[in-house]
Amino acid sequence: MKAETLLRSANTAMVVFLTLFIIVAYGAWGMEAELPLMLIAVLHFLQILLAGLFKVSYVVRLIAQNQLGQVLR
């Protein structure tokens, strides 16, 4: 039961972090002319942070799949 909850949470976290990354990337790269430079710098930092959190979520997903005996992908 715990591993199933962990897997569901990791999958949800991956979707959330990917969605946030896409929004931040659009702000950092698609709207750079309309936003102040400090905000652009923060958005670029957030891209790095969100990518790292996505990778951590993926590792947690792999751990949960391993505990459930599923094929690791």
Round to whole Å and give the CA distance between 66 and 48: 27
At 40 the pLDDT is: 96
Q: pLDDT digit string (tens) for 18-53?
A: 999 999 999 999 998 999 999 999 999 999 999 999
Full residue range of the structural domain in which residue 20 is found? 2-68
Q: What percent of the chain has pLDDT over 90?
A: 93
At 73 the pLDDT is: 75
| Domains contained in the chain, number | 1
At 72 the pLDDT is: 85
71: tokens are 């094929």
Please identify which residue in the block is written with the tokens 């990778």.
55
Asked if residue 32 belongs to a domain, the reply is yes
Asked if residue 73 belongs to a domain, the reply is no
